[in-house]
Structure 1
Amino acid sequence: MEKSTVEQILKIVETVYGTYTKSNWIPKPYADNKSRYLWTDAYGVCNFLTLYRETNDIKYLEQADALINNVHDILGHQRNGKKRLGTATAEYPTRGGLRIGKVEDEGSYDGDGQYFHYLTKWAFALSRMAKVKNDQRYIRWAVDLIKAIHPHFIYRDRNDQLHMYWKMSIDLTYPVVPSEGNLDPYDGYVTYRLIDEMAEERELEKEIADMKSMVDIKYSHYRSSDPLDLGEALWITHWYSDELWAKAITSKSLQALEELWQHGDFREPLNRRLAFREFGTTIGVQANDKASEEWKSRINEIHNLWLPHLYKRDKDISPVMLCTSLRPGVISRHYLQ
């Protein structure tokens, strides 16, 4: 990684998470009283791990670890902080799932709860930590998380066909949004497999089979016009790129992104666009080697466009995802091989 890119990432990371102090460093809370936010912090963990691999500076590994513990301490508790979720303990902090980290409480519009695609993103971050540190504890936490959430997000209809809820309550007792996320079955299938393959014992065979059955039914119908969704699809498919479902979704996603580019969606006024959704695209096309060479210059164009406006909408999800896009590192399949 070029020195200028490292310096750019470091500046953003320090702005978002605060200046590192060796003894008992705790990442600073986000604005708007969110404190921690699961999706953003999953990327944050991966960014710290990439910095560690690129610089060999142990402090970034320590920061990744501190961020993981802080997320478990906050999002693994009820909103009042008095009790851990479900059957979670200090030793096994993910056994009740993890809250999203929304500002508003559940029951309000866009309130707190548990999102499947945030939980899988966190499980993936734990798997990267396990790989970098060669420590099975993080895989244990990832497996525990999957075991805790899977039975609550998955259900069978009257025809015995599997489906998923998009959002569950904090205690996982009822669906808040009963519709199915466009990518959730694929995300679950890939994340579960990656973690199961790293575990000392295979524990997720049933959960993987559930996800695969949904993938097989859904993939021929995949459609999207959202840059984050399409970028995520390219990232998901690059892990098992030779499988039929992955080839189909990769092709459809690249075609849809090309149509968005040619249609001018990436040249709309900034007040009609969201930086983090476009960084989803720039991350995905870098991870997936089927993306055309034209995207290299487009990535730089998108980065340069958003840099002067990086903190205008938010001070967490957009800058943290830009760091990943500047250097995808550990989120890429070949990086840690």
Structure 2
Amino acid sequence: MAALGTLSHALKDVVSPAGRLTAARAVVDRVYGPAGGHGKDWRPRPLLDNKSRYLWTDAFGVVNYLTLACETGEQRYLDQAAGLIDAVHDTLGRDRAGKARLGNATVEEPTRGGLRIGKVHGEGHPDGDGQYFHYLTKWAFALNRMSLASGEAKYNRWALQLIEAAHPHFVAGSGSGEPHMWWKISIDMSHPVVHSEGNLDPFDGLVTYRLVQEAAEQPGALRREIADMERMVQNKYRRYRSNDPLDLGEALWLSHWALPEGEAWAQLVAERSSAALDDLWCRGYFRQPEPYRLAFREFGTTLGAQVNPAAGGQWAERVDSLHQFWVQHLFTRDADITPVMFAASLAPGAWARDYTPRLRQLAQRLRGNEQ
């Protein structure tokens, strides 16, 4: 980090484009450790609180590295994305003892048994380990983006295999007119742990499955899985409501992938989520004292508002103000999920649909360097 100075110095400017990029670079180095000349041998430092790895956080970490690779042209960020992916598969793709791989997973196909959440507590605890659908789709998205940026098909193949492994265990009534989902299942995928459906899980599935299918080596590989998600989205989208800043930001992010095609669900979800966020802003939710708020949930808002034009231009200034507020409290609650999502909000590049050509250009440049 010598080139960027101390962390506090790097975080002084979180408004200008150059300052935001500098801050994002400093934050990911603080959380995961700098490359330090290790190249392809680099491995991330364990997260704190005895979690070692945490699937949601590390999905954001991978996508952050891809954005930084595109923005800086530095190979080390792509190497770090690859190292983080391997570390997640080697940790969360195994049982909690770290011995056996989950389900049918192998070294060559590490996602065929799903991936653990990475909770501190074991199964049976109210906040115990297991598998979350919305974490798996975040990871599949990260793998898909890595495949585009690196030009290596194996990453999207792993995303596809993860979906194939998880879908039958999370979706009840597959192929019927009214399938529904479980929010959380056991580590071994043998039974649901939380029988309710996540507010956005079908939308997560639809968007992610489509992206993985587009990059798949086998046309139509996820045809039935996508059909299930389309049915659930059609059955559900007219009832979409939320007052949670992370959920609303995620809704903006998900809907922005389908807005250019004019899909009805995307238009309605974008309208309702942006209106709900405006209402939260006007009612003073985002001006409450720090102890009454959770930074990482608000970074869901700031990320979604930046990638979806439906949020409106008023959010540019609001995003800056939230960044300036939270940079003062960045490591108050934790040293992983909050700063990693902050980095994503500072440099949202690879999270956006219109950034996809940049990822492909990176892969082309890498292939050119190898020739």
Normalised to the residue count of structure 2, the TM-score between the two structures is 0.89
CA distance in 2, matches of 1:191, 1:60: 23
Distance 1:89 1:270 in 2: 44
Verify: 1:261 aligned to 2:281, yes or no.
yes
Shift of 1:269: 1.3
The answer for the alignment partner of 2:224 in structure 1 is: 206
Q: Note if 1:163 corresponds to 2:180.
A: yes
Q: Which residue of 2 aligns with 1:229?
A: 247
For structure 1, the 5+ residue unaligned runs are: none
- Aligned pairs (5 A) from 1:263-302: 263-302=283-322
Q: What residue number does 1:3 align with?
A: 18
Q: Deviations over 1:275-301 (max 9, x none)?
A: 000000000010101121110000011
Structure 2 counterpart of 1:90, from 76, 89, 107: 107
Q: 1:2 and 1:248 mapped to 2: Cα distance? A: 31
1:164-203 alignment, distance < 5 Å: 164-202=181-219, 203=221
1:200 deviates by 1.8
Query: What amino acid is aligned across from residue 251 of structure 2 in structure 1?
Result: A
1:122 to 118, 131, 139: 139
* C-alpha deviation, 1:160, in angstroms: 6.0
TM-score by length of structure 1 reads 0.98
SS in 1 for 2:310: coil
Is this contact kept in 1: 2:177–2:231, CA < 8 A? Answer: no
Which stretch shifts more, 139-148 or 288-297? 288-297
Q: Which residue of 1 aligns with 2:162?
A: 145
SS across alignment from 1:176: strand
Instruction: Indicate the larger mover: 92-101 or 286-295.
Output: 286-295
Q: How does 1:99-118 map to 2 (within 5 A)?
A: 99-118=116-135
In 2, the alpha carbon distance for the partners of 1:2 and 1:296 equals 12
- Runs (4+) of structure 1 exceeding 4 A deviation are none
Over aligned residue pairs, what C-alpha RMSD do you find?
Answer: 1.2
CA distance in 2, matches of 1:60, 1:207: 33
Indicate the larger mover: 65-74 or 285-294. Answer: 285-294
- In 2, Cα distance between the equivalents of 1:259 and 1:290? 15
Question: Secondary structure of the equivalent of 2:43?
Answer: coil
Match of 2:148 among 105, 124, 131: 131
Q: Distance in 1 between matches of 2:339 and 2:353?
A: 23
SS at match of 2:270: helix
Q: How much has 1:56 moved relative to structure 2?
A: 0.6
Of 235, 246, 256, which aligns to 1:238? 256
Range with greater deviation from structure 2 (90-99 or 6-15): 6-15
Q: What is the aligned length? A: 336
State how far apart, in whole Å, the 1-side matches of 2:265 and 2:312 are.
Answer: 20
> Which of 17, 29, 36 is the aligned partner of 2:32?
17
Residues 6-64 of structure 1: per-residue CA shift (max 9 Å, x gap): 22112111110012133321100011110000001000000111110011110000000
Distance 2:25 2:49 in 1: 23
| Structure 2 gap ranges (5+) | 1-15, 358-371
